[in-house]
Amino acid sequence: MDLSSINPVVLIAALMVAATPILLAAIGELVVEKAGVLNLGVEGMMITGAVIGFAVAVSTSNPYLGMLAALCGGAAISLIFAVLTQLLKANQVASGLALTLFGLGFSALLGQGFVGIVPPRTPKLSFGFLSEIPVLGPILFRHDPMVYLSIFLVAGVWYWLNHTRGGRILRAVGENHDAAHALGYRVLRVRILAIMFGGACAGLGGAYLSLIRVPQWTEGMTAGAGWIALALVVFASWRPWRALAGAYLFGGVLVLQLNLQAAGVRIPVEYLAMSPYLITILVLVIMSSGRARKTLAAPGSLGRPFHAAG
Amino acid sequence: MLRLEKRPQPSKFWNLATPVLAVVLTMIAGGLLFAALGKDPFIAIKMIFWDPLFSQQFAAYSRPQLLVKAAPLILIAVGLAVGFRAGIWNIGAEGQYIIGAICGAAVALAFFPAPGWYIFPLMVLAGAFGGWAWAMIPAILKTRFNTNEILVSLLLVYVAEKILAAMAVGRMRNPDGAGFPGSRNISQYPAASNPELIAGTGMHWGVVAAFIAVIFTYIMLHRHILGFQVQLAGQAPRAARFAGVAPARLVVLCLGFSGALAGLAGLFEVAGPARMISIDFNSYYGFTAIIVAFLGRLHPVGIVLAGFLMALTYIGGELAQFMLGLPSAAIQVFQGMLLFFLLALDVLSNYRLRLNFGEAA
């Protein structure tokens, strides 16, 4: 075992990459839940995005086209959930699960011809001399564009939710859909749009996994990332910046665990590989128990179906 | 414009008709999918739903498989249905199934190669205990810390899969297996095996357990106060509390019950059809059982029918994979679509569709 082989600068740079797919999916789901909808299909939408993004990127040799396709694919598949839960009033928990089960099968079907192919490389941005600064350079200025985009997305969602009219309407719909309806807001329309935004973000997160983070296509490659993203929303108490902090924390665990495997720590690989899931559970427990719970502030109408009477 | 009008009570007719309609719609959509994959849809559908039972060529092999595949699905789904009725979402049955199998196999491997009538019953207990204990984690976290049981039970599936991998290459690896991953063949160890009870039928102890579980659950849900409490907690949680239902007790009971049944399913599988602990021992029964529970309308009798239908898609899917080169993922998509149609059609039992022309403002 050689712990000195773990370089903290490389570790921090790597954790930002590891955290990005979960962060993208989580920020999307955060908006969905703020609108009062619980979509448990994040895993299914992510893996759909992963395979669509991969397929399009490989066939066009352009990773950005792949990501665009994944974005659209994620939004499209989330529409199934939107129709089921919003128009047909189906149970949200069951519909989300159905989306995950369907997405896993659908992606395996689509991805058959793409196993073992190397996708086109996504170039890293270069900031000239900034990228050459020791320590700060590799951490802040040597990433692919998606890492920065995900951070901008967090900032954008934060600003939009708190400082714009549209954001306030979305929150009103999520807090109390009957009151929002009485005020004349279109509850279903707001929710369907929110669900599509969540789907697009999850799809993009999936494509980041298959195009940049791994980069390869394998069946079931999301391996619970969607569920970790769902847990992250709870961890973040439905606040965007906390989602960023949480995602980087999970990214750190993920990368550290991989580094320990590589450094040959005398714990079997399987037990190290469990740690992200166990830590997610632990964090969920801490966040939902006792005093922490009061500051959680889940949206008031979360998971409740809306049917306008009359 | 089409408008929805809430029914005062769910329609009894549509309650029974929607699963049938959903299956028909899934067959149509599935046929389109198979056609898109370049297979003749009629041959593919016939191969999945008809040939395993009635074709002279395949039925001899396929018919016994029906019980083998349906038993774990029914066993798990019956347990899940009780929780789903009460609004307690155990979606980690796959993990409980794996841990049940590991615990049962551990007992068998500990006694190997001693004979003894008591070994198999002990394994059954260990399997049920393993699944129960694994389900107690989300249950206790839910009642103690108010942690979401959906996320915890699901995340524990991944943990269980890792434990399974660790066992298959580590503690439980067959010492006479030349270093290959996987445990000893439990089905060839007479005192611990779960054999076919009547030759050529696929009947094994898991099938017996499934039928006992179905009858037990039916009585509990329809003839016992607990069934009333489950129903009440699911439909009117506030009223349930006034009626003296302790929510925490219900969570522990529902998760424990479904966990124990899933653990049993895993044990019967590892000692019988699957033969041993291996890395890829689990076959997504725990997730498919969720579809079975919904398709069976969360009713024990419905679940038996749904379990057989789902088992048929597994067997027919394998047959179509073998004979037509239909990808195995296509069957997974097929099963997912079934759940979509089922949930979509539920609107018919809860709402009345009204056409109104010229909206009056």
Q: Which tokens in the block code for residue A85?
A: 């839960």
Task: Please give the tally of structural domains in chain A.
Answer: 1
Q: Min CA distance, A234 vs chain B (Å)?
A: 9
Identify the weakest region by mean pLDDT among A42-56, A161-175, B342-356.
B342-356
Check the CA dihedral B76-B82-B84-B89 and report its sign: negative
Confidence of residue A295 (pLDDT cuts 50, 70, 90): low
**pLDDT per residue as tens digits for the range B14-67:** 888 888 898 899 889 988 988 888 888 888 888 888 888 887 777 777 888 888
Quick check: is A184 in a domain? Answer: yes
Confidence of residue A291 (pLDDT cuts 50, 70, 90): low
Confidence of residue B300 (pLDDT cuts 50, 70, 90): very high
Does the distance separating the beta carbons of B155 and A280 come in below 8 Å? yes
| Amino acid B256: pLDDT | 94
| Amino acid B360: pLDDT | 45
Quick check: is A25 in a domain? Answer: yes
B21 interfaces chain A, CB cutoff of 8 Å:
no
Q: Quick one: average pLDDT of A154-170? A: 92
Q: Which residues does chain A have within 8 Å of residue B89's beta carbon, measured at their own beta carbons?
A: 93
Confidence of residue A310 (pLDDT cuts 50, 70, 90): very low
Q: Quick one: average pLDDT of B239-264? A: 88
The percent of residues in chain B predicted with pLDDT above 90, rounded, is 29
- Whether residue A22 is predicted with pLDDT greater than 80 in this model: the reply is yes
| Amino acid B65: pLDDT | 86
| Amino acid B361: pLDDT | 39
| Amino acid A139: pLDDT | 73
Mean pLDDT rounded to a whole number for chain A: 86
What gap in Å lies between CA B76 and CA B149, rounded to an integer?
17
| Amino acid B261: pLDDT | 95
Quick check: is A310 in a domain? Answer: no
Q: What is the DSSP string of B174-199?
A: -TTSTT-SS---GGGSTTT----SST
Confidence of residue A46 (pLDDT cuts 50, 70, 90): very high
Quick check: is A106 in a domain? Answer: yes
**Selected residue of B85, B147, B347, B354 to mutate for chain A interface (largest A Cβ count, 10 A):** B147
Q: Decide if B92 contacts B286 (C-beta within 8 A).
A: yes
Q: Which residues does chain A have within 8 Å of residue B150's beta carbon, measured at their own beta carbons?
A: 40, 93
Q: Decide if B77 contacts B310 (C-beta within 8 A).
A: no
Q: Quick one: average pLDDT of B216-243? A: 82
Q: Which tokens in the block code for residue B16?
A: 């029974």
| Amino acid A293: pLDDT | 58
Q: Quick one: average pLDDT of A98-109? A: 91
| Amino acid A294: pLDDT | 56
Higher pLDDT, A228 or B6: A228
Identify the weakest region by mean pLDDT among A73-82, A204-213, A260-269, B82-91.
A260-269
Q: What interface predicted TM-score (ipTM) does this complex get?
A: 0.86
**pLDDT per residue as tens digits for the range B317-333:** 888 888 888 888 888 88
Q: Min CA distance, A89 vs chain B (Å)?
A: 7
Higher pLDDT, B41 or B243: B41
User: What CATH number does residue A234 fall under?
Assistant: 1.10.3470
Q: Which tokens in the block code for residue B303?
A: 């679940």
Quick check: is A272 in a domain? Answer: yes
| Amino acid A9: pLDDT | 80
Nearest to A257 by CA among A238, A239, A245, A271: A271
- Whether residue A19 is predicted with pLDDT greater than 80 in this model: the reply is yes
Q: How many residues does chain A have?
A: 310
- Whether residue A114 is predicted with pLDDT greater than 80 in this model: the reply is yes
Higher pLDDT, A227 or A267: A227
Chain A residues 216-275 within an 8 A CB cutoff of chain B: 219, 223-224, 227-228, 230-231, 234, 268, 270-271, 273-274
Q: Strand pairing partners for B351?
A: B6
Q: How many residues does chain B have?
A: 361
Q: What is the DSSP string of chain A?
A: --GGG--HHHHHHHHHHHHHHHHHHHHHHHHHHHTT---TTHHHHHHHHHHHHHHHHHHHT-HHHHHHHHHHHHHHHHHHHHIIIIIS---HHHHHHHHHHHHHHHHHHHGGGGTTPPPPPPPPP--GGGGGSTTHHHHHSS--HHHHHHHHHHHHHHHHHHHSHHHHHHHHHHH-HHHHHHTT--HHHHHHHHHHHHHHHHHHHHHHIIIIIS-S--TTTTTTHHHHHHHHHHHTTT-HHHHHHHHHHHHHHHHHHHHHHHHT-SS-HHHHHHHHHHHHHHHHHHHHSHHHHHTT---TTTT-------
| Amino acid A78: pLDDT | 95
Residue-range definition of the domain harbouring residue A32: 3-116+142-294
Confidence of residue A157 (pLDDT cuts 50, 70, 90): very high
Does the distance separating the beta carbons of B146 and A102 come in below 8 Å? no
Does the distance separating the beta carbons of B165 and A270 come in below 8 Å? yes
- Whether residue B155 is predicted with pLDDT greater than 60 in this model: the reply is yes
Quick check: is A128 in a domain? Answer: no
**Selected residue of B167, B328, B332, B352 to mutate for chain A interface (largest A Cβ count, 10 A):** B332
CATH code matching the domain that covers B65-326, chosen among 1.10.4160, 3.30.2000, 1.10.3470, 3.40.1710? 1.10.3470
- Whether residue B159 is predicted with pLDDT greater than 50 in this model: the reply is yes
| Amino acid B41: pLDDT | 86
Confidence of residue A2 (pLDDT cuts 50, 70, 90): low
Mean pLDDT rounded to a whole number for chain B: 86
Q: Which tokens in the block code for residue B78?
A: 């019956």
